[in-house]
Amino acid sequence: MSEAISELVKHLITFFKPEDCDSMTSLIDSMPIITCAGKNKTGKVATKIATKGYCSTKNMYYFGLKLHALAFRREGTIPFPEMILLSSAEENDLTVLKREAADSLINRNIFADKIYSDFSYWGNKQQEQGTTMLTPVKAIKGEEPVITQREKAGRELFSTAVSKVRQPIEAFFNWLNEKTNIQRAMKVRSTSGLLVHTMGKIAIAFIYLIF
């Protein structure tokens, strides 16, 4: 069942792309799919795919999965996903993107959170594939204070601009959770059940979004 629903989601993403999608601009982020929450909790459900992770947005330790969405920007509305990925909760977002999608992104500007920042990696991707990763500016370890102070205003302006562009991906996750309550997977009792819960709710949301 989970495989069939996954194929349905891929079909919906591929064949029902709205005309107002900006194919040159993508937004990316992730959200937790929670089977249980709490720093000292030990997950006992779907342990083949679910692990312990930390959500900085919610300041919360949890057990479960991460749902990653790479989405086309749409002016004035929520973005439309071009790729949906699932990973264990413990995996780093940048690692998942590098492994699953980075090589297929051509001539693209991607707006993301700081966790996706990797100057050398994305510098190479920009030369090889025309792909530019734009994130809020991370503090540079070992940088002299005088340089940090001199560059502070420019970096803050850039970071604010990037955050403003990428904000709709957060709105997309909020919309997805409001429509389906996808984050709450506490009643799931098996690996297949967790996959059906996640991909089934994504399929329902996409059908709603498209039609």
CA distance 168 to 77: 7
The structure tokens listed for 43 are 């997950």
What pLDDT does 12 receive? 66
Mean pLDDT, the chain, whole residue set: 88
Contact (Cβ atoms closer than 8 angstroms) between residue 83 and residue 13: yes
What pLDDT does 1 receive? 47
Measured at the alpha carbon of residue 88, what is the angle toward residues 63 and 165, in degrees to the nearest 5? Answer: 100
Give the tens place of pLDDT for each residue, 146-202. 888 888 889 899 999 999 999 999 999 999 999 999 999 988 888 888 988 998 888
The structure tokens listed for 201 are 């709710």
Q: What is the mean predicted confidence (pLDDT) over 100-110? A: 94
Residue 109 DSSP code: E
* Residue 4 binned pLDDT confidence (cut-offs 50, 70, 90): low
Q: Which residues contact 55 (CB under 8 A, 6 or more apart)?
A: 32, 61, 62
Q: What is the mean predicted confidence (pLDDT) over 27-55? A: 87
Contact (Cβ atoms closer than 8 angstroms) between residue 115 and residue 92: yes
* Residue 132 binned pLDDT confidence (cut-offs 50, 70, 90): very high
Which is higher by pLDDT, 17 or 22? 22
Residue 78 DSSP code: -
